[in-house]
Chains A and B, each alone.
Chain A
Amino acid sequence: MGTAIATQESLAEQFKRSGKRARRGTFLLVLPLLAFLTLTFLLPIGNMLSRSIGDPTVAEVLPRTAAALRAWNGKGRPPFSAYSALADDLVRAEREGRIGKVATRMNFERAGMRSLIMKTARVASTFEPPYAQAFNAVDLQWSDPEVWGTLRHASATNTMGYYVSALDQTRTADGKWVPKPEEDQVYIMLFERTLWVAGLVTLLCFVLGYPLAYYIARQDDRTRNLLLILVLLPFWTSLLVRTTAWIALLQTNGIVNDGIALFGGDGARLELVHNMTGTLIAMTHILLPFMILPTYSVMLSVPPALTRAAISLGATPWTAFWRVYFPMTLPGAAAGGLLVFILALGYYITPALVGGRTGQLISNMIQFHMQTSLNWGLAAALGGILLAGVVVLYVIYARVIGLNRLRLG
């Protein structure tokens, strides 16, 4: 009896052990991919996001000023200790050649800070008490509490400053958020536009892609393969080639407009590119395969007998399609829709090339801040908001449609 229990236990243990081993084996198999993703995806994104909430430049280069300003509540005049601390810090930073970094950083927050800091730093070694007067003698801007308020915000190691800017807000010296003047507001509008374009492109892809997928799925094998190759061929062509091809087709003197002019004369030429129309056309074309392929492969798995059964039970062809066939293909279309929508949210090469003035999306601003203005903190904040938006939409989507119902084939 005792031996029987012992063998039973060891059997269970054996099971457990072999199960563990199998799991470990599987884990080892995915380990390279996991490492790859961590290195090339998670770490860079983490690094980028951390830039959006913290920028230690000012606190590092002007440590004493940062400490002195921390004690100040941002109301009224800054304490005298801040003036002497800044004079000290400026002299040291100038000697170490680090002043330019602070000046650039400060100019992100307030126009004119760059030259104010540079020119003050050049003469700071000659300053003598009372320091407040010495600063004001260089430039009267130093008597403005707003300037010190900006310095105070920027010298915090953790700052929401970039998110404040990314939401078209600005901060007063005592830290209140107020909307920027209307002519400076741009990001919220671009976020809205990006959502709207992504939604519209998804809809267009569905309207164009669903019937095509349906048509392909109903052909015999030979025709089907041929049609699929026709769908995939542009998919395998470089994005840049396809986008520039659209410029050639759609421009004022392009083929499409030449065709229109043939019937309506030169006056009938339409503006089809370098505006929102161009962005929509090119993005829809480029993203269409992402809609067609999942929809198509789900359609293949729907037994044709079901529709026939519905019709033989008295349904009209439309009812059979709408009540029986369509719901079964919805997971494919939904997966395609999700792919298209999320890809569209981050699109920037295509809008940059064909979008002109009105077809630009939020990703074009992110690129601008990454490569031209070098305001990586703001770029990170904009990217962070976009990422958060995608995650929220994804969660809503998962709740409403259910991720387990998504099918890619």
Chain B
Amino acid sequence: MGRTTGIIIAAAAAIVILAGVLLFMLKGGSESEVSELDKEMTDMPLPSADGSAPAAGAGKLAGKSLVVVSWGGAYTTSQIEAYHKPFEAQTGAKINSVDYNGGIAEIKAQVEAKNVTWDVVDMELADAQRACDEGLLEKIDAGTLPAAPDGTPALQDFIPNGITQCAVTTIVFSHIVAYDSSKFQTQPTKLADFFDVKNFPGKRGLRKTSPKINLELALRADGVAGDQVYQTLSTKEGVARAFKKLDTIKNDVIWWEPGSQPPQLLADGQVTMTTAYNGRIFDAQVKEGKPFAIIWDGQLQELDVLSIVKGTKNLDAATQFVAFATDTQRLADQAQWIAYGPARKSSLPLVSTYHGKPDVDMKVHMPNAPENSANAIQIDFLWWADHQEELNQRWAAWLAK
């Protein structure tokens, strides 16, 4: 009797597991079917779409659909509001927004399998450079990008490295140190305070995923000048110096991975100070009213770009989208939704207030606003392309020990 129960239960467990696997596979299958169907439907010319599209040149791309891939959350929302909606209204194209977690693994898989379903991807510049080198991205002609309103050509209007072979920069985001101001009597003011656990007690948060950011931060806090950072890191002694600085707080660190984690760690009181993306901290400050503050001293700026996947069937529409999304007004509009700086110099004066909150002036929250960027450096993506394998290994070893 008991034996039978055992067998029945074991069989039930097996069936449930199998059913789970089947369901999972079916779900995966049907999902791609749906999106396939979706595309077919949107590929069909819809007469009503033509009629309702208002602006001049409407219906140029009517019936076309684009898959635009980005990081999700508030960031994707800012792009939908600033780029996708006006682009759809102006051209009649339909944009499907898809989320991903960065990296080039998926793009590589699509291109190598010759089954490209993504058209435009929002990437970190370093990844875009590598993907471009490996032939995974379409080249973008800087000449197709619109000039600034005052006539400055795009090449001069974008910040340094803003336009590369396969990528057009949309935003400057920044790795900053944020702290909970309610936890300190004397407020920390400079990057070095992050490493001073005696005077500014509490746990620290650092990004676990890669040595990038952490090594630069350590050297800056240790007194290395901004323009000397990568020269220093190119020597054995320089790398050792950075790790030695990190050693001083190694046992006080809580490691984070996704960008949503640092504000959470601060809010939970797990850390008193943490590195973070500035936009996430802005959200916590303004949307949720948390007593968080940002130390802009020694901030590390990085660029986020739009790229077109090699072999897309919608190359023309994708190129038009990239040019449209990176024009002066669109980049300035995006800053109404998120605290990342526009990549065009001509956009910065047009940045206004946070959407729905006219008392929040977005200019002071931009990483590349003059008062914030006095002691900032830009992360050297070419240097990292050369050194990431070597330092990732060392980083993994340092972390594990």
Contact = CB atoms under 8 A, between A and B. Distances in A.
Given A114-B386, A373-B388, A186 B400 contact: yes
A152 B86 CA distance: 54
A108 interface: yes
Contact of A235 (B13, B133, B396): B13
Contact of A103 (B7, B133, B387): B133
A234 interface: no
Contacts of B105: 370-372, 374
B389 A111 contact: yes
Contact of A190 (B253, B388, B392, B400): B400
A409 interface: yes
Contact of A111 (B7, B130, B386, B397): B386
A143 interface: no
B108 interface: yes
A114 B394 contact: no
Nearest to B106: A371
B108 A300 contact: no
Nearest to B310: A97
Nearest to B108: A374
Interface string B235-272: 00000000100000000011100000000000011100
Contacts of B134: 100-101, 104
Interface string A180-198: 0001111001100100000
A232 interface: yes
Contact of B9 (A99, A114, A185, A228): A228
Contacts of B396: 186, 365, 368
Contacts of B270: 251-253
Contacts of B390: 111, 184
B355 interface: no
A263 interface: no
Interface string A50-79: 000000000000000000000000000000
B389 A107 contact: yes
B135 A100 contact: yes
Given A103-B133, A189-B401, A301-B3, A251 B13 contact: no
B184 to A, nearest CB: 18
A184 B393 contact: yes
B104 interface: yes
A279 interface: no
Interface stretch (A15-23, A353-361, A393-401): A353-361
Given A190-B400, A297-B6, A97 B135 contact: yes
Contacts of B392: 368, 373
A357 B255 contact: yes
Interface in B344-401: 382, 385-394, 396-401
A374 B104 contact: yes
A193 B399 CA distance: 14
A108 B389 contact: yes
Contacts of B98: none
Contacts of A370: 105
Interface in B1-56: 1-3, 5-7, 9-10, 13, 16
Contacts of B268: 251-253
A345 interface: no
Interface in A218-267: 221, 224-225, 228, 232, 235-236, 251-253
B138 to A, nearest CB: 11
A112 B6 CA distance: 60
Looking at chain A's contact residues, the main secondary structure is helix
A182 to B, nearest CB: 9
Nearest to B254: A274
B203 to A, nearest CB: 8
A186 B135 contact: no
A203 B133 CA distance: 49
Given A104-B133, A189-B400, A374-B108, A300 B3 contact: yes
A183 B397 contact: yes
A176 B253 CA distance: 39
A333 B50 CA distance: 70
B269 A357 contact: no
A101 B135 contact: yes
B386 A112 contact: yes
Given A115-B382, A186-B400, A372 B209 contact: yes
A186 B398 CA distance: 8
Contacts of A232: 9, 13
Contact of A107 (B2, B386, B397): B386
Contacts of B103: 371-372
A293 interface: yes
A160 interface: no
A24 interface: no
B2 A221 contact: yes
Chain B CB within 10 A, most for which of A357, A358, A371, A373: A357
A409 B6 contact: yes
A183 B5 CA distance: 55
A224 B243 CA distance: 56
B6 A296 contact: yes
B290 interface: no
B132 interface: yes
A118 B400 CA distance: 33
A221 B5 contact: yes
Contacts of A189: 397, 400-401
B183 interface: no
Contacts of A118: 133
A113 B132 CA distance: 17
A164 B135 CA distance: 29
Nearest to A219: B2
Contacts of B7: 297, 409
A302 to B, nearest CB: 11
Nearest to A274: B254
Nearest to B16: A236
Contacts of B243: 183
Contacts of A159: none
Given A99-B133, A114-B385, 18 more contacts: A98-B135, A100-B133, A115-B385, A183-B243, A217-B2, A221-B5, A224-B2, A224-B5, A252-B270, A253-B269, A274-B255, A293-B10, A357-B208, A370-B105, A371-B103, A372-B103, A373-B392, A375-B389
Interface of A: 97-101, 103-104, 107-108, 111-115, 118, 183-186, 189-190, 193, 217, 221, 224-225, 228, 232, 235-236, 251-253, 274, 293, 296-297, 300-301, 356-358, 360, 365, 368, 370-375, 408-409
4 smallest CB-CB distances across A and B, nearest first, come from: A100-B133, A111-B390, A186-B397, A297-B6
30 contacts: A99-B133, A100-B130, A100-B133, A100-B134, A107-B385, A107-B389, A115-B382, A115-B385, A183-B394, A184-B393, A184-B394, A184-B397, A186-B397, A193-B400, A221-B1, A225-B5, A232-B13, A252-B268, A253-B270, A297-B3, A297-B6, A297-B10, A300-B2, A300-B3, A356-B254, A360-B399, A365-B396, A372-B103, A372-B210, A409-B6
